[in-house]
A and B are shown apart, each in its own frame.
Chain A
Amino acid sequence: MTDTGPLLRMSGMTKQYPGCLANDRVSLTVERNQIHALLGENGAGKSTLVKTIYGVVKADAGEMVWEGQKVSVQNPGHAQRLGIGMVFQHFSLFEALTVAENIALGLAGGSQRAGLRDRIVRVSTEYGLPLDPDRVVHDLSVGERQRIEIVRCLLQNPKLLIMDEPTSVLTPSEVQKLFVTLRRLAAEGCSILYISHKLEEVRSLCSAATIMRLGRNVGECVPAEKSVKELAEIMINADLPEPTPRPEPSEQAKPRLVLDRLTIRSPHHFGTDLQDISLSLAGGEILGIAGIAGNGQSELMDALSGEVPAGRPETILIDGMPAGHMGPRERRHAGGCFVPEERNGHGAVTTMSLAENALLSAFSRQSLVRFGLIDARKTHAFAGRIIEQFDVRTTGPKAQARSLSGGNLQKFLVGREVMQNPAVLVVNQPTWGVDAGAALAIHEAIMALAQAGAAVMIISQDLDEIFVLADRIAVIAGGRVSEPVPTRSATVESIGRLMGGSRKETADA
C-alpha cells in the first residue's frame, strides 16, 4: 500500500442505462487533502459517477483505485468501511426523531452507539457544526439538518467526503461557516468531492475541478484560474450570452398583483403562519422574496396559488380582481400562473407523460379541454411547443416526467406557465437543483415575461439569483415580509441581516 499516491483514482468508468450512456470512460483523480469540484450540467453524469464511488451504482466497466488498491465498492456500507462518506442533496432524516436517534439509525451495529451523544457533541463542536443531540429534527432549520448529515459522516472518520449541492439550502453566512469547516477537514486529511453548480463558490473553495458533459470528461482545471463564464462555457460547450439588462419598469405601471394584509394560520402543526403581508407588484416588475428555508415561503406560495384560500376576497387582487377566495383554477383564469418549489408530485405528476403534465395546469388557459373531453392533439402540440421553445431534452411529449433530469423538468414546468402568458407569475425556487445552462434559460424566460408586461414574484433562497433577476427585494422571515427595497440600493449584507430576522432593518433600508 502506498501512502503517497492519490487518494482516489478512477479511469474508464462506464455505465450504460437503458437508452442512456450515463458515464462514458470517465476518469477522476482526487488527491489527499484536496477539495475537488465535480462540475457539470444536470444529466452530465455526475450523480452516476458519485453513486459508483459510494457503491449505490455498479459500473459496467472501469477501474477504481482507492489508496493505491483496486476496489469495487459493493454497497454504501462497504464505502463507509473504506472511509468514504456522502451527504446527499435530499436529506434522509426522520422528522419525529431526535438528532442523536437519527444518527444512531445511520450507524451499522449497536457497538458504535456506545457514547454516541458525547461523540456527537465533540465532533460537532470541534468542526464548528453546533448541534444539540436531543433536539427533534422537525424543529431544525435546513442548515441544521445538513449538519446532522455531515456529523453522521464525520463520526465514521472518513478519508473522502462527497457533498452533493450542499449550499443550495443555506444562507450566505451559513455557507461561509460550512466553507470554514470544509477547509479545516481538508487540511486535516479528509479530501472532499464537492458537487455544485454555483461556480463562484467552486472558484473560492476548490483547488481542483473535473468538468463533465454528456457523460464524458471535458476538462480539468484549477477553478480559481478561470472566470465563472469560462467555467460555464466548458460545462455546456457554448458561448453563454450575458443576461440582457432590462429597462427600468415605469413608475406609472398599473399594479397587477396586490396583497393586502394577507394573514393565514398554517394548518400544519410545524408550519409557519403568514402575518400581515402587504405587497404591490406592477406589470413589468420582478419582485424577489429572499429568505431562509422554512420562514413561510411554501405557505406564501400556497396562499398565492390558491391551494390554501386566503379568506377575504380583497386580500389578493390579480389584475384588480379580488381573488382571495378563489381556488387555483379560478386564479389561473384570472391571470395567475404558478411554479411550486417541489417538482415531483406537486408541480408535476412524475408517472405521467409530459403532455398530461402540460394539461395539469394549462387546460383552462390553453383551452385543451372541449365538452369535458381532453383535446389530445392540442395538448400534445402544446407540450411539444414547450419542449421546443425551452430546449427540454427528452424524447417528446409522450415521455414520462420522471425520465427527465431535474433541470430539464424544471425548464418544462417553468415553460408550461410562461407559455400561458400570465398576467402574474409566481415562482418558488426557480432554479433549485438545476444546472447552470438550464438556470440561465429559466432566468431569461422569466425576464422576457416581465418585459412583456407581466408581474413576476420570485421566491428564492438563492441570493445571487434574486440579485440577478429582481427589480426590488423583500425578505420573508417568520411569516412576515419586509418592505421591498430597490435592488440598486440593497446589498448582500443588508438583505442577509433581514433574513436573520432583525425587523428593525426595514426602517433603515
Chain B
Amino acid sequence: MLKIEARGHESVFWRYASPLLALLLTGMTAALIFTAMGRPPLLTVYTFLVAPLLQQDGMQALVVKAAPLIMMGVGLSLAYRANVWNIGTDGQFIVGAICGGGVALAFPDAPALIVYPAMMVAGILGGMANGGLVAWLRIRFNANEILTSLMFAYIAQYLLVYLVVGPWRDPMGFGFPQSAMFSDSTLAPRLIEDSNVHIGILLAPLIAVGLWFMLEKSLLGFQFRVLGQATRAARFAGFRENRLVWIAMLISGGLAGLAGMLEVTGTLGQLTTTLSPGYGFTAIIVAFMGRLNPLGAIPAGLLLALTYLGGDAAQINLGLPNAVTSIFQGILLFYLLGSDYLLHHRVVWRPLPSGAAP
C-alpha cells in the first residue's frame, strides 16, 4: 500500500535545490512532448531555452521581459507569505497599464519630467485600487480573495478591450483595436539608447531588495510572516489582520500596476487588447519558483522570461505553436508544487497489515 506521510523536517539543501530539480524535470518532460510531436527533442529544447540568449541583444530582451515578472513576483511573494492569495495580478497589471497609458494619451505634449512621474503614480494607484477592492471585499464581506481577484482580472481585460475598441481607439489606426502611439515624452526613459532597456530593469531588482529588507528586517514584515504562519499568534501579538491584508493587497496590486504601466510605455508604446500575454499569472509561478522570497523572484523572473522568448523562437524557427510557452510554464509549476510537497512529505511503501479489511 502506498502511503504519504509528513517528513517532520525540511532539508535545507532540497529547499533550494528543488526548483532546479523541477526545472530539470520540466526540460525532460518537454523533450518527451517534442519527441511525441515528431521534433528532434534536443534541438527543440536548445531552441527554446538556450538559443534566445545567444541571439544578438538576447540578454537585453531577457531583462526587459523579466522586469515586470520580477516586480509582480516580488509583490506576490509578500502577499502569499501573509496568506493573502492574490491571483489577479494580471488584472492589476492591465489596470496599471490603462491608468498610466490614459495619462500619456491625455497629455502627449507635457514635458517628460512632469508627465512620466505622474503616469507612474497613476499606474501604481490603478493597481492599488484594483487590489484594494479585493482587500475590501475580503474584509467587509469575507469574500475569498482567490475568487474575487481572479474575477477582477477578467473585468480589467474587458475594460481594456472596451477602451481600445471604443473611446480610446486610434483615429488614424485603420480601425485596429489599439490606442494612439504614446508621444516620445511619455515613453519610459531608456538606460541604453536605441534599445528597449528602460528604467523598469533598474527598478525591478531595487524593489526586490527593498521588499526583502522590509520582510526580513522590519516589524511590518515580521507581522506579515507571523500572520502567514499563525493567525492566532498574530492576534495575540496585537497585529491587526485587516490592516495587513490591506497593505499586502495594496503593495502587490500597486507593483503590478507599476509593471503594467512600464510595460506599455517601455516596450509596446501604445495600449492594445493583448498587452498582457498572461504576465500576471506567470508571476504566480515566479513567486513560487523564488521560494516566496523577494530576492528569489529575480532569478525566477529571468527564467520565466526565457520561456516567453523561447516560445517566440520555437514558433519562428521550428514552426511550433506559441502555446509551447504556456505548456512549459504549466509543467514547471506542476513540478515545482510537486517537489515542494515532497519536500515536506514522503511516499512510503507499507505492506498491507495482515488481517485488515480489504
Contact = CB atoms under 8 A, between A and B. Distances in A.
Nearest to B216: A374
A345 B240 contact: no
Given A77-B353, A349-B226, A349-B230, A372 B220 contact: yes
A115 interface: no
Given A373-B218, A373-B219, A361 B237 contact: yes
B357 A346 contact: no
Interface stretch (A2-10, A106-114, A218-226, A429-437): A106-114
Interface in B209-249: 217-220, 222, 225-226, 229-230, 232-233, 235-238, 240
Contacts of A340: 236
Contact of B219 (A109, A307, A327, A374): A374
A84 to B, nearest CB: 14
B229 A351 contact: yes
A306 to B, nearest CB: 7
B106 interface: no
A75 B236 contact: no
A108 B354 CA distance: 12
A361 B236 contact: yes
Contacts of A77: 353, 356
Contacts of A346: 230, 232-233, 236
B218 A360 contact: no
Contacts of B229: 349, 351-352
A356 B240 CA distance: 18
Contacts of A329: 237-238
Given A306-B238, A332-B238, A345 B233 contact: yes
A396 interface: no
Nearest to A18: B9
B218 A328 contact: no
B236 A307 contact: yes
A327 B240 contact: yes
Tier of interface size on chain A? 35 or more
Contact of A81 (B222, B225, B350, B355): B355
A110 B358 CA distance: 10
Contacts of B235: 307, 328
B257 to A, nearest CB: 24
B222 A108 contact: no
Interface centre among B229, B232, B355, B357 (most CB of A within 10 A): B232
Contacts of A75: 350, 353
Contact of A109 (B217, B230, B357): B357
A372 B218 CA distance: 6
A270 B94 CA distance: 45
B83 to A, nearest CB: 13
Nearest to A371: B218
A356 B228 CA distance: 14
Interface string A44-84: 00000000000000000000000000000011011001000
Interface string A113-147: 00000000000000000000000000000000000
Interface residues of B, number: 22
B241 to A, nearest CB: 11
Interface in A345-399: 345-352, 356, 359-361, 363, 369, 372-374, 376
Contact of B237 (A328, A351, A376): A328
B357 A345 contact: no
B217 A374 contact: yes
Contacts of B233: 345-349, 360
B356 A109 contact: yes
Interface in B336-356: 350, 353, 355-356
B218 A108 contact: no
A412 interface: no
Nearest to A339: B236
A194 interface: no
A369 B357 contact: no
A347 B236 contact: yes
B357 A110 contact: yes
Interface string A14-39: 00001000000000000000000000
A174 interface: no
Nearest to A332: B238
A369 B220 CA distance: 10
B252 to A, nearest CB: 20
Contacts of A305: 236
Given A75-B353, A346-B232, 13 more contacts: A18-B9, A78-B353, A81-B355, A110-B357, A306-B238, A329-B238, A345-B233, A346-B230, A347-B233, A347-B236, A349-B230, A360-B226, A374-B222
17 contacts: A77-B356, A108-B357, A110-B357, A111-B357, A305-B236, A346-B230, A346-B233, A347-B233, A347-B236, A348-B233, A349-B226, A349-B229, A351-B230, A352-B225, A373-B219, A374-B218, A376-B217
Complex A-B, nearest 8 residue pairs according to Cβ-Cβ distance, in ascending order: A109-B357, A329-B238, A328-B238, A345-B230, A346-B232, A349-B230, A369-B219, A360-B237
